[in-house]
A and B are shown apart, each in its own frame.
Chain A
Amino acid sequence: MHISEGVLSSQILIAGYAGTCIGVGFGLKKIQDYKIVRTALLSSAFFLASLVNIRIGPGSTHLSFIAPVGLILGWGAFPAIFAALLLQAILFHFGGFFVLGANTFTMAFPALAVNLIFGKIIRKSEKKFTVMTFSFLAGALAVIMGAAIAGIFLYFHR
């Protein structure tokens, strides 16, 4: 779900950066110093997961750790995903620098939303089945929300 460079209009790019700046600001404030290492490792896991392609039938897809990152980090998902996408833009030219804001918001907002919706239930529940069900729902919802936000950005790009 990387939106390529040059596709979105400047208004959408600015809106994306505005949303991302707010999220990253809150996220950086909420991350305690001793949790930076864990955030960084989850960020690198997010980076690597999107490079692993899996063939399903005639097509192929890649893993996305949106839900796990969101469920574990909460607001910290914004800076984690921002860092991962920045490195992807630098190393592999996936996405780009100007669409970094929009791409980060596309993936980090669902992560945060999933945390707010399912985080408490998953953490408090002691039954394995409940945890599995809500984790699956969280993952599915995160992917759907990510696709929906990317779709909205692309719809209003002109």
Chain B
Amino acid sequence: MKKFLLANLIVIATITLTYPDMQEGFFTGLSIALKGGVIYLIFALFVFPKGFAGIYKTLVLMHVPEKLRILILLTLRGIFILKERFESALISLKLRAPEQKNFAKLKSFTYVTGSVLLQAADRSERMERAVKCRGGFGGFNNSR
């Protein structure tokens, strides 16, 4: 399989390099791959190893507004909450109706999505009240 892929790669490279019209596309693709690789490498070396705390500190250093920083952190929290809810809803859907097809499947999927969104709205209200009880966002700073 590897030999087959390598042979294909050689054939494609030969065709693109020998035809003048295709050379431009080949080099554009190559430059895109190089740019993307270098950009990701910079972030992988300097920012990612620090984890979320490091990324948050980077945001502080970049003078990102506090509201936006809180929003990013709460979004991260919300992702795990919603993921958990959505997965359990999908499992219950599969158990109740294992052989749904096409339109019926899409319809029930829509219902699940809608109910998860409503639950999320409810949860957000409770989270909001909890935040208020703890004193709001006042004093939410880099030290936390």
- A residues whose Cβ falls under 8 Å from a Cβ of B: 4-7, 24, 28, 31, 33-34, 36-45, 47-49, 54, 63, 68, 79-80, 82-84, 86-87, 90, 93, 96-98
Contact = CB atoms under 8 A, between A and B. Distances in A.
19 contacts: A5-B36, A6-B39, A34-B128, A34-B132, A37-B127, A37-B128, A41-B124, A42-B120, A44-B76, A44-B78, A47-B75, A48-B83, A63-B113, A80-B71, A83-B68, A83-B71, A83-B75, A90-B48, A98-B39
Interface string B37-78: 001100100001000000100000000010110111011111
Interface of B: 31-36, 39-40, 43, 48, 55, 65, 67-68, 70-72, 74-79, 81-83, 86, 106, 109, 113, 116-117, 120-121, 123-125, 127-128, 131-132, 136-137
Given A24-B68, A39-B71, A48 B79 contact: yes
Contact of B81 (A38, A43, A44): A44
Contact of A44 (B32, B79, B136): B79
Closest 4 CB pairs of A and B: A6-B35, A44-B78, A40-B74, A6-B36
Contacts of A49: 113
Tell me the interface secondary structure of chain A in the complex. Answer: helix
A97 B39 contact: yes
B136 to A, nearest CB: 7
Which secondary structure dominates chain B's binding surface? helix
A87 B75 contact: yes
A33 B139 CA distance: 13
Contact of B117 (A28, A31, A45): A45
A96 B38 CA distance: 12
A136 to B, nearest CB: 12
A57 B96 CA distance: 25
A90 B40 CA distance: 10
Given A41-B124, A97-B43, A83 B72 contact: yes
Nearest to B44: A93
A41 B137 contact: no
A27 to B, nearest CB: 9
A84 B78 CA distance: 11
Contacts of B120: 41-42, 44-45
Contacts of B83: 48
B43 to A, nearest CB: 6
A96 B74 contact: no
Contacts of A37: 74, 124, 127-128, 131
Contacts of B109: 54
Given A41-B78, A41-B123, A36 B70 contact: yes
Contacts of A41: 74, 78, 81-82, 120-121, 123-124, 127
A25 B6 CA distance: 50
A96 B36 contact: yes
